[in-house]
Amino acid sequence: MHICMVMKMSIEELIREMVMVPGVSGFEEPFRRYLLERLREYNAKTDNLGNVIVTLGDGKKHIAFVAHMDEIGLITTHIEDNGFIRFMPVGGVDNRMLYGRVVEIYTDNGIIYGVIGLSPPHLTSEEERKKMYEWKELAIDIGANSKDEAIRMGVKPMQPARWKKDFVVMGKHIVTRGLDDRVGCAILYESLKRLHRKNFKNKITFIWTLQEETGLRGASALASKYRFDEVYVIDTITSATMPNVDYHLSPAKLGDGPVLRVADRRGVASQYLREKVFKIAKNNGIPVQEAVSGGSTDASTMFEHGMNSIPICIPVKYTHSPVEMIHLADVKNLIDLIEKIAES
């Protein structure tokens, strides 16, 4: 029996478990299987693409809460004659986070570990050490001495890969890779657990989408099929409280509450829902913030299909890096806020 079925977990333990399950964008199947097992008692279903859906109640107003299950990563593309593995990024991968990393390649034989290394300072010039290498100049070293040896180990082109993850609890903070958006997945799960035994006037649907990081593709498929009165996308937003970043670019602080992502590169969120959420939060003593940011979320796709939508986000430092950081108070406040929105 899966560990998730035999023990009650704290929210930080749940986030850790979800973070560690692989699910590179386009290759979400391991996380989808994990999620469906956790959701077994809630009659979860999947659509044709693989989005996971749970619906509660049958009220006239239909409210959706959405989080994406996929994560950024890599895909193997070619094996060199000397055994090195070439790769391509999947999603918003920064070249700076590739160097000196341990990589997990997901093969039919299980996980094969490799490293992405750079020439050491002993063998490079000062000019070479200043160069920013692009992903296409790098390779994964799995310890194979030839292409045939790499193939015998189970590696081949078109396999997903990701960085080996650490998970650190720093007081009230969590630091790890993949909080975008496994923290949203955990929040949706905890909210579902809290709400499923309650009687409320609305129809509530919880959705875990795929391929958000590669073009909001799961949400786009949903938006073309379903009609929701209100859509709340539970995602992350970059906090600019870090060195060498202008705070006004993304003015959100860890620990000060969930963030209404008012605008990003795909447009402005629903002003009707913005006002509604602020009123609910104020009436229930739940701290919330507002901010703008780059990037986009599944909310923009819903909005483009004529549905009122707004992202409610967990502020994160060092987004899309191996050391994403969140504050647990924001997580707990967002779960409380979802409960009140569902009952509104």
Catalytic residue among 212, 213, 324, 339: 212
Residue 37: which region, alpha, beta or left (left: phi > 0; alpha: psi -120 to 50)?
Answer: alpha
Contacts of 128-132 spanning 24+ positions with Cβ under 8 A: 132/95, 132/96
User: How far, in Å, CA of 18 to CA of 136, rounded?
Assistant: 30
Q: Is 12 a catalytic residue?
A: no
User: DSSP code of 186?
Assistant: H
- Cβ 159 vs Cβ 107: under 8 Å: yes
Angle made by CA atoms 28, 55, 17, in degrees to the nearest 5 = 40
Place of tokens 């093969």: 107
Q: How many CB atoms lie within 10 A of CB 131?
A: 11
User: How far, in Å, CA of 335 to CA of 189, rounded?
Assistant: 10
Place of tokens 């469906």: 36
Active-site positions read 212
